Amino acid sequence: MSLFSAGDPVRVRDDWPETGGAVHIRTPHYVRGMPGEIRAYLGRFPNPEDLAFARPARDLALYHVAFPRQAIWPEGQGDDEILIEIYETWLERA
Amino acid sequence: MCSGVDTEPHVLTDFDREVDALRQLLSLKGLMSVDELRRGIEAIPEPEYHALGYYQRWIRSIADNLLRRGVVTEAELRRALAAA
Amino acid sequence: MSAPDDLLRVSAERLLVAIRDILAEKSIVSPAEIADRIAITEAASPAQGGRIVARAWVDPLFRQRLLGDGTRAVEELGVVMRGAPPLGVVENDGSVHHLVVCTLCSCYPRAVLGYPPFWFKSASYRARAVRDPRGLLAEWGTIVPAGVKLRIVDSTADYRWMVLPRRPEGTDGWDEERLASIVTAGDMIGVTIPKIA
């Protein structure tokens, strides 16, 4: 039911649907295009991009994905990390 | 945005509590998802967004969503606003 | 279809009264339901969170269940989770300190801790928690040692996250009630760590 497993290297799609009109996206701007690592599969949840417009929403796999903080912002300590919930449709294999 | 954080406790007003409760009830009744609330908040034009408080944005989004879904009609809202 | 702007550009207080009146008139939401819901919301509080943390400190099996499935574990303690998003619990130890933020809005483990504090919803907290987390923590006087990894949990989607802090030294033999009394909302979000008064 889920494409990725804990430990898999992934990349967040470098996609900016906001430029095409009204959307609601739960993938923060600061991780678009960034490499990360799957930490856990969190279950399946209806796609918020459809729920936000009261449209029928299909269930998507949701993962906890870790990103090295310094790869996003160079300042700060080396091994700090950011852990984010990301839907499978936003992830590609790295 | 990179200024200091106001860590002081702030007391919620009756207005805040009512909007918060209304949001929860509309979700529980299947009349507005939390994602619709967020969409409506994000749709507020930027200058107005910054001029509004946290729960002021919520009630604006709630009203927008109820109109979009037809739970409340424009005519009903005009009438009720005139009386409010 | 979107509302004409003039309809929504009224004072928020007037808008609430109007919406509330219409929903009551149409028997969609009654004033009594609103009052009940406010009471239910106020039943959750940092004190309730403190009770959960204290139990995890004294009962290793409960701690395991809490980390495995937060929702089910807190239900054992009588926390009402029906209708609430799933609760995830992340544990601080000697090598990792967790800090919870919602950069996109203000997702907060409300079913457990109650209303989110003002600072949690502020733009500066939400921006700096990911950009300058150690500088942010210093504003609370919280220093994460250089050898300890800081893991920021950006709560973006369907879970609500809460931190299980470390039990402070000098609390041996304390009962659960006394342990619970030292745990604050900030400790369970990660901006502070429990301190003995």
CATH number of residue C133's parent domain: 3.90.330.10
Domain that holds residue C57: 44-189
Give contacts of C159 with chain A, Cβ < 8 Å: 42, 85
Rounded to 5°, the CA angle B4-C164-C80 comes to: 100
Q: What whole-number distance in Å separates Cα of residue B48 and Cα of residue C60? A: 50
State how many domains chain C has: 2
Chain C residue nearest residue B4, CA to CA: C124
Instruction: Select the residue of B7, B48, B59 nearest C19 (Cβ to Cβ).
Output: B59
- The model's pLDDT over C12-36, given as tens digits with 9 standing for 90+, comes to 999 999 999 999 999 999 999 999 9
Is residue C2 in a domain? no
Is residue A4 in a domain? no
Residue C106 annotated to the active site:
yes
In a shared domain, residues C29 and C89:
no
Chain B CB within 8 Å of residue A80 CB:
no
Is residue A47 in a domain? yes
Residue C45 annotated to the active site:
no
CB A82 to CB C86 under 8 A?
Answer: no
Asked if the interface predicted TM-score (ipTM) of this complex is over 0.90, the answer is: yes
DSSP, collapsed to helix, strand or coil, labels residue B78 as helix
Q: Quick one: which of C166, C185, C177 has its CA closest to C63?
A: C166
CB B63 to CB C115 under 8 A?
Answer: no
CB neighbours of residue A74 within 10 Å: 7
pLDDT of B2 higher than 90? no
CB C149 to CB A48 under 8 A?
Answer: no
- The model's pLDDT over B25-71, given as tens digits with 9 standing for 90+, comes to 999 999 999 999 999 999 999 999 999 999 999 999 999 999 999 99
Chain B CB within 8 Å of residue C22 CB:
yes
Task: Give the 3-state DSSP-derived string for B15-74, with helices as H, strands as E and coil as C.
Answer: HHHHHHHHHHHHHHCCCCCHHHHHHHHHCCCHHHHHHCCHHHHHHHHHHHHHHHHCCCCH
Q: How confident is the model at residue B1 (pLDDT cuts 50, 70, 90)?
A: low
Instruction: Select the residue of C106, C121, C139 nearest B7 (Cβ to Cβ).
Output: C139
Distance of CA B25 to the CA centre of its chain: 13
Residue C105 annotated to the active site:
yes
Is residue C151 in a domain? yes
Instruction: Select the residue of C133, C153, C155 nearest A80 (Cβ to Cβ).
Output: C133
Interface of C with A in 126-165 (CB under 8 A): 130-134, 146, 149-159
Q: How confident is the model at residue C1 (pLDDT cuts 50, 70, 90)?
A: very low
Residue B70: exposed, middle, or buried by beta-carbon count in 10 A (0-12, 13-18, 19+)? Answer: exposed
CB neighbours of residue C91 within 10 Å: 14
CATH match of B27-83 with 1.10.472.20: yes
In a shared domain, residues C72 and C160:
yes
Domain that holds residue A22: 9-93
> According to the model, what pLDDT value does residue B84 have?
84
In a shared domain, residues C150 and C63:
yes
- The model's pLDDT over A77-93, given as tens digits with 9 standing for 90+, comes to 779 999 999 999 999 99
CB A54 to CB B33 under 8 A?
Answer: yes
- Which of B26, B32, B35 to mutate against chain A (most A CBs within 10 Å)? B35
Token pair, residue A56, equals 């029928």
Give contacts of A76 with chain C, Cβ < 8 Å: 132-134
Which residues have C-beta within 8 Å of that of residue C186, sequence separation ≥ 6? C140, C192
Token pair, residue C42, equals 């106020």
Mean per-residue pLDDT of chain C: 95
- The model's pLDDT over C90-133, given as tens digits with 9 standing for 90+, comes to 999 999 999 999 999 999 999 999 999 999 999 999 999 999 99
Token pair, residue B38, equals 């967020």
